[in-house]
A = this chain, B = another copy of it.
Amino acid sequence: MSQSNDKNNLLEKIVSLAKRRGFVFPGSEIYGGLANSWDYGPLGVQLKKNIKDLWWEKFVEQREDIVGIDAAIFMNPKVWEASRHVSEFSDPLVECKKCHQRFREDQIGGACPNCGGKEFTEAKQFNLMFPIRLGPTEDSSNMTYLRGEIAQAMFVNFKNVLDTMRVRLPFGIASQGVAFRNEITPGNFIFRTREFDLMEFEYFVPESEWKKWFEYWRGQMREWLKDIGVDLKNVHEVEIPDGERAHYSKRTIDFEYDYPFGQKELYGLAYRTDFDLKNHMDKSGQDLSYTDPETGEKFVPHVVEPTFGLSRSVLVALLEAYQEEDKRVVLKLPPKLAPYKAAVFPLVANKPELVAKAREIYQSLVASPYSLGPIAWDDRGNIGKRYYSQDEIGTPLCVTVDYQTLEDGTVTVRDRDTTKQERVSNTELPALLKTTCG
C-alpha cells in the first residue's frame, strides 16, 4: 500500500473503485442490499479466480505431497458434533436494554453502537452454525448445518484418500470452498461476511515432526503473500496465547494485516494435533490411523493447518495494489492476478484500416493457443484516457495499433508500472504477454 495514501479513507476509495469498475458490487443492490453481502463483478470474478487458481497450482498441482478434494456443503450432523462446532462454535451475544439491538459482546466498547445505551443483557453464547432441514420430513433427524469451516471434510475423507491415493506421511489434503458463519456483526466490506471463501489444507505429519512442519508452512505462507503482492511489513505474525486459541489448537499463529480499519486477521496457521482425527475415530467407530509402510508402526497423524481466506486475499490484493500517483490511480497487481492481461487500442477510432488491424491483433490474442486470459478492447476517447482507464483496473500492458503498424507490423506496448513504451512486432505479443503475466 502506498505511503502516500491516507489510511482513513483508503477503504472507501477501494469500495468505490470496486463498484465503479466492476470488481465488487453490493449484494442484492436493487433491493436495497442485504446486510454485508457482496457480489463479485466481471473484473472481481477474474481477480478472485486468478488468486484461487494460483493457489491451487502452487499448493496442489505442483506438489507431490498434497492432493485436493471438493466436498459437499451438506454433511452428516454427527460431523459437527464430533468437531464440537455444535457445542462450542459460538460468540457471546448481548442485547441493548434500550433499543433491543443485539451485538457481539467484545465489539460494543461499553456503549450500544446503535443508540449509545449502556445497559445490556447478560451475555449468552450464540452458535454460529446455520441449521438447515433436508428433505420433506419434519422430524429432527433431518436437521444438519451449513458447514462452518471446510476443514472437517478433509478429516472425514482422510481414510478415503489414504485408501485411493497411495499417499505417505507427510502429506496434505487441500480444499477450496465456501463456509458459512452466522456472524453477529459482519462488516468492513468483504472482510467479514456470513458466507466466505476459504482455501486451506490439512497437512498430516508424525507427532514428532509437527514443529518442523509448522515452521516450514509458516515460511510458505510468507512466500504466498509475496506472490499476491503483499508487502510483508504490513503483516504481523501473532502468536495466540493459551486460553485464546480455538478449542482444537495447541499452537496458532494469526497472520494479521494492517487494514485501513486496524490490524486484524488475514490468514491462520494452526497445529490441530490429532484432535479431529481422534474425535472422528471415537464418534464414527472407523479406524483413521496410518501405518508407516517401512516401520509398520500404526498411529494417528497430527495436523498442521494453513488457512487462507480467499475473500480476504482479494481484499488485501486490492489494498496493496492501490496507488495514487501524480495524474493517475493505478492498481499495481501482480500481472498473474490482473483481470485483463492486456488491452488493445486502435490509435484513433475513425480510421477503418487501423480499427481493422487492431481488431485482428485483438482477436489473435483472445484466441491464442497460449490461453493468455482476458484481453480488453478500447476505442473510446484519446489514448491518455484509455491508459488511465486500464491503469485503474491493473491491466499490465496496453497495445496501441497505429499507422506504422500498417507498414511494418510493429505496435506500441506501454507498461502499466513504468508507463514506458516500446515498439515490438505484433507477432511477439503472445510470448511477451505469457512472459509478463505467467
A-to-B contact residues, CB < 8 Å: 19-22, 25, 27-35, 37-42, 44-46, 48-49, 53, 56-57, 60-62, 64, 67-76, 78-79, 93, 102, 126, 130, 132-137, 144, 146, 153, 156-157, 159-161, 164-166, 178, 182-184, 193-195, 280, 283-284, 286, 288, 366-367, 371, 373-374, 377, 380
The answer to whether A27 and B75 touch across the interface, beta carbons within 8 angstroms, is yes
B25 and A157 contacting across the interface, CB-CB below 8 Å: yes
Whether the pair B157, A39 counts as a contact (CB closer than 8 A) is yes
Counting every copy of the chain, the complex holds 2
A288: chain B residues within 8 A (beta carbon): 30
Least CB distance from A309 to B in Å reads 15
Q: How far is the CA of A42 from the CA of B66 in the complex (A)?
A: 9
Contact A21 B164 (CB under 8 A): yes
In the complex, 17 of the A-B residue pairs with CB atoms within 8 angstroms, ordered by the A residue number, are: A20-B164, A22-B161, A27-B71, A27-B75, A28-B78, A29-B156, A31-B284, A34-B72, A34-B134, A39-B157, A41-B160, A42-B165, A46-B68, A61-B373, A135-B183, A136-B182, A166-B380
How far does the alpha carbon of A146 sit from the alpha carbon of B73 in the complex, in Å?
A: 12
* Distance between Cα atoms of A156 and B53 in the complex (Å): 27
User: Which residue in B76, B132, B374 is a CB contact (below 8 Å) of A61?
Assistant: B374
Cβ 8 A contact of A157, one of B41, B130, B157, B380: B41
Partner of A286, one of B20, B25, B30, B135: B30
Q: Are B31 and A78 in contact (CB under 8 A)?
A: yes
In the complex, chain B residues whose CB is within 8 Å of the CB of A159: 30
Also in contact, A68 and B39, with CB within 8 A (given A156-B30, A373-B61): no
Apart from A22-B67, A29-B157, A41-B161, 20 more pairs, CB < 8 Å: A20-B164, A22-B165, A27-B75, A28-B156, A29-B156, A31-B156, A34-B75, A34-B134, A37-B75, A39-B70, A39-B71, A39-B72, A39-B160, A40-B70, A45-B70, A64-B377, A93-B136, A102-B135, A130-B133, A178-B178
